[in-house]
A and B are shown apart, each in its own frame.
Chain A
Amino acid sequence: AARLSGGENRLVSLPLSRIRVIMKSSPEVSSINQDALFLTAKATELFVQYLATYSYKHGRGKEKNALTYSDLSHTAEECETFQFLADILPKKILASKYLKMLEKEKRDGAVGQDDEEDEEEEDEDETVDEAVGS
């Protein structure tokens, strides 16, 4: 039992039984061969490693030696490979900031995203195109 549970030397750490439960929650899937189950578990581990390292490398959390939620949602938004995660990793914004944005939108009648977003080059372009006399 010791060899099977929680061993770092194991070929895969994620429990196959749990991976199977998730896979089977898809209604169109009838059966899964053992190799496919193993590969999915292993791929998920590789995915976790990749998501974590990519987000850390490209995020700002490392300025404080940390991996933060913001690093992850940034990755989901910026990196095409991880875009399928955009809905479950939405960007977070302070309520006060959001209210200000809404007020600005009302006043200007345009999408007010100039100084709020540092890294969204595309949006800046959009604002320039759409802006009326600003």
Chain B
Amino acid sequence: MAERPEDLNLPNAVITRIIKEALPDGVNISKEARSAISRAASVFVLYATSCANNFAMKGKRKTLNAGDVLSAMEEMEFQRFVAPLKESLEVYRREQRGKKEARKDKDKKADSEEQDKSREEENDDDDERMEEEEQNEEEEVDN
């Protein structure tokens, strides 16, 4: 897949919001500063990925897993992130399990007469389903 330069950038609006929420109210963030942080974030992703990948390779695995990312954070001297990341991961996993259960139940209902209700919920879940499908694509070996 050919990446255009803008694809390696993160959405400005989201970056700006994260910065604003972290700083005291009313602090002005120059456009230059915002853009610099955005670039720094992209570099962080690359650095973290490379580092995590080293751990995966050490474990003779081709798929990066959660442990690799956490090990990378320690290696990069961002140990302070490890505890909050583990917490978030628990919540995320619960959410994902919950969604799977909900989808299973929905599929059962869809076969019965309640098709109108499930069509509504399906719209919300389409994006999540896409994520899952995209993940399945990843199981194939690239390059």
Contact = CB atoms under 8 A, between A and B. Distances in A.
Contacts of B49: 22-23, 26, 29, 40
A127 B53 CA distance: 42
A18 B77 CA distance: 24
Interface stretch (A68-76, A95-103, A107-115, A117-125): A68-76
A4 B126 CA distance: 10
B30 A13 contact: no
A33 B66 contact: yes
Nearest to B135: A34
Given A11-B95, A67-B27, A85 B65 contact: no
Contacts of B18: 13-14, 45, 48-49, 52
A11 B91 contact: yes
Interface residues of A, number: 65
A21 B63 CA distance: 15
A88 B43 contact: yes
A55 to B, nearest CB: 8
Given A11-B88, A49-B21, 18 more contacts: A11-B95, A14-B14, A19-B45, A22-B45, A22-B46, A25-B3, A26-B50, A27-B143, A36-B63, A37-B135, A39-B85, A44-B10, A46-B85, A62-B27, A69-B33, A80-B77, A88-B43, A89-B39
By Cβ-Cβ distance, the 9 closest A-B pairs, closest first, are A49-B22, A35-B66, A69-B32, A66-B28, A31-B138, A39-B69, A36-B64, A23-B49, A30-B62
Interface of B: 1, 3, 7-8, 10-11, 13-15, 17-19, 21-23, 26-30, 32-33, 36-37, 39-50, 52-53, 62-66, 68-70, 73, 76-78, 80-81, 84-85, 88-89, 91-93, 95-96, 123-124, 127-128, 131-132, 134-135, 138-139, 141-143
